[in-house]
Structure 1
Amino acid sequence: MTRLSVVIPVYNGAATLGRTLGSLDGQARLGEVEIVAVDQASGDGSREILERHAARLPLRVLDAPDCRNWMQTTNAGLRAARGPLVSMLHQDDIWLPGRVAAMLTLAERHPEAALWLHAAWFIDGQDRRLGRFSPPFGRRARLIDSETALATLLVQNTVALPAAMFRREAALARGGLSEDLWYTADWDLWLALARQGPVAWTPERLAGFRIHAGSQTVTGSRDLEDFAAQHQIPLARHGAALGGRRGRQARALGAAAAGINLALVSRLHGRPRPVWPLLGEILRLGPLGWGPLLVRSQILQRLVPRLRALRRRG
């Protein structure tokens, strides 16, 4: 019986798709794991790459020419999947050896979890490691209660998309990924699932999240107002789920982290915004809030790998 479905949305990913599928070699065991690749009418040879790998992997290829974005193609894959558990894997990311076995073992150990997570690496175009990518959940495997997980994840999306596993039924019950959130659809899903139950965590780094010039963060963030809204919508949807002082702090930290992200992106595109409003927001957090902001936003851990990638390209 299929236990895990791997959903891969595909659109003109020929440059990296072969490596993504190759990272599943030896992990996607027939009868236990299935791969559902949903092709959004690629025109660069991606379909041919999928068909070649289908000869040796338990891979189904679905055509979705009417889909307009990765959220829609992913939702099509979720609906077609057969496994009770699902992971998403984008065409430019990779899994490391042992990832599937580790996550299925984690699910057996913590069947009550609503979301299973592991740590990851930032990688460059040649699969070289640039830095660590993970939420600040510590160095030991454990089950994290819903409120603690939500208070951490609400501040910043620190979960690499290929580093999560969840129940297919739970995702479909909320309509799958929000198709208006091109940048934060995965974050929105993690928050929704964390509200439903505890989060199982292992610090093993079992995936690579690729940084490159053509990423959605770089290309899609040119519209700064839309980029800001991409952060505000998940915060508004899920922030009220935490009450009391803990909730107020998490919402304030999330707003500050969103402001930092916007400030960085505005400079990336040569349209820097005034920093005084952001500095005022950070100062209002007070000394007791500055440490949690650094830790939960993982700002340095996210920024340094990107600077390394830029230096290597330069």
Structure 2
Amino acid sequence: MTVLVSAVIPTYNRESYVGGAIESVLEQTYENVEVVVVNDGSTDGTESVLAEYADDDRVRVLRNDENRGIPYTMNRGVEAARGDYIGVFGDDDRWYPTKVEKQVAVLEGLGDDYCGVYTGGVIRDGSGEVVDRVRWDRGGDRFPEILVRNTVLPHSSHLVRAECFEAVGGFDESFDIACDWDLTIRLSKRWKWACIPEELVERTHHDGNVTGDPDYDVRCRAAVREKYAAELAANPDARRRFEAAAHRERGVRALEADDRTEAVRELSNAFVRERRGDHAALLALAPFGPRALSAARALRGVRG
């Protein structure tokens, strides 16, 4: 008998998105799937959309009495999931039809030293155009590299053993930003990852994305620095590159805001700590302001 795979979808006021997320699971070529949707106190028409699945025994809907936030809502879904493998993804994410089939085939051949498998993905804008691609081929031991930057991405592609979720305690509900990075760090401290570089998930960028906050990367890194200070101190090379990335992120934000002096200062610090070509390129752009950065991004030469 094939193992059961649970898809956990938290949703809040996304009536125009959540149905598509559910359908992307039900359309999987791997048939033994269930969907656990947790409605985080939506006040729009989300409840009506979810009611359309009342007669589908593959879909279970839970509802928070009030808006409790992403970590709590995801944990509630994971705790209710019955599958051997669990994937948590947003209501504006989509799984491609062969994703679960390919991941289960990989996971079934791995030992207990692996917690899960992730894949590549694409990001689309509101018009459906592809604006970015996420393609890694970095399986195996990801710690302490995962402290420097989260490269086990996209998170919507993760398929993780249920027992590993339970062992690390799920999502940290006190970690109100970058809870996916935080969970990936804790999983990576104990287990390896497998990677399928094929693009098997997609996300739509829109005004409601949490990651649309221009300071999102900066705030995520500050939260990780605080929680994992001991781990960073124990891994000096990772700490050096972590701080280089922090300077880079602050420098890019300054450049976008046309604070050229601050951009030069931060990007200089990034380059001193990690002499990478992209750091040098960003530093060269800093005196010319945000229009130069936009032009470079359009040419795909520099990504901030």
Under a length normalisation based on structure 2, what TM-score does the superposition of the two structures give? 0.80
Structure 1: tracts of 5 or more residues without a match = 138-142, 295-302, 309-314
Matched-pair contact (CA < 8 Å) for 1:29–1:58:
no
Corresponding residue of 1:251? 239
Corresponding residue of 1:12? 13
Corresponding residue of 2:290? none
SS in 2 for 1:195: helix
- Matched to 1:117, the amino acid is Y
C-alpha distance in structure 2 between counterparts of 1:243 and 1:256, whole Å: 15
Identity over aligned residues, as a percent?
Answer: 25
C-alpha distance in structure 1 between counterparts of 2:176 and 2:222, whole Å: 13
Corresponding residue of 1:48? 48
Structure 2: tracts of 5 or more residues without a match = 281-292, 299-304
Deviation per CA, 1:269-309, whole angstroms, max 9, x where unpaired? Answer: 7888812442232232253xx15979xxxxxxxx99xx67x
Structure 1 residues 164 and 135: alpha-carbon distance in aligned structure 2, compared to 1, 3 A threshold: same
Matched-pair contact (CA < 8 Å) for 1:14–1:44:
yes
Please provide the CA RMSD for this pair: 3.1
Say which of 210, 234, 242 aligns to 1:216. Answer: 210
Q: What displacement does 1:131 show?
A: 2.2
Matches within 5 A, 1:1-314: 3-27=4-28, 32-56=32-56, 58-112=58-112, 113-135=114-136, 137=138, 143-144=139-140, 146=141, 149-158=142-151, 159-219=153-213, 224=215, 228-238=218-228, 240-241=230-231, 247-265=235-253, 274-287=262-275, 290=276
Aligned length: 281
Q: What displacement does 1:268 show?
A: 5.5
- Matched to 2:97, the amino acid is P
SS in 2 for 1:14: coil
C-alpha distance in structure 2 between counterparts of 1:209 and 1:258, whole Å: 25
**Higher CA-based Rg:** 2
- Matched to 1:120, the amino acid is G
Q: Which has the higher contact order (CA 8 A, sep 6+)?
A: 1
Structure 1 residues 196 and 291: alpha-carbon distance in aligned structure 2, compared to 1, 3 A threshold: farther
C-alpha distance in structure 1 between counterparts of 2:262 and 2:125, whole Å: 31
Q: What displacement does 1:163 show?
A: 1.0
- Matched to 2:25, the amino acid is L
Deviation per CA, 1:189-236, whole angstroms, max 9, x where unpaired? Answer: 1111111011111111100022222211224x5xx5x86343133245
Matched-pair contact (CA < 8 Å) for 1:53–1:59:
yes
Structure 1 residues 271 and 52: alpha-carbon distance in aligned structure 2, compared to 1, 3 A threshold: farther
SS in 1 for 2:206: coil
